[in-house]
Chains A and B, each alone.
Chain A
């Protein structure tokens, strides 16, 4: 039972570098999400995709871009990493927007 798989699990970047976080789900879910989690802030939505072919901004989209490659995969790209983007990033999926979400185990990203 893979569920939601995120890669990589850990990454250290230098300021200004770019990278793409990968996410794949095998539950045939329509909706996928990217969150960041910072101490005391809970989970904040970066971008989401309600269905294949659509993406929308969440609460904190600045500095990020996303691609819904197909129904299974939803990637998050940092074009020019900044120290303020140091965080734990979680990908999640659900059958519909307001249904329970299934989360991956996160990517721990440090930007120096």
Chain B
């Protein structure tokens, strides 16, 4: 079956431009998560969706970051006025529910480079 997909796989942009990253979770998965992984680092939690609502936005690093999810499915992460420190791999994951025993299924990530 189809796993989590993300697009684009690579994005190079100039400082100050806006970017949109897309995540298609596994069909039927109600929980969706965005993480950021800088080179050689662990995963930094950004935001979590349960259905279309985001109960936890605590990880968003600044008000330049926003995310939405529509139809309980596709999610987009938008970064406005990108900065060089935004360069990282952005990973999306979904799980069947947000229960404590649900493993996450990860997408391949979007590598963002801000010049």
Same complex = no
B-side residues, CB < 8 A to A, are none
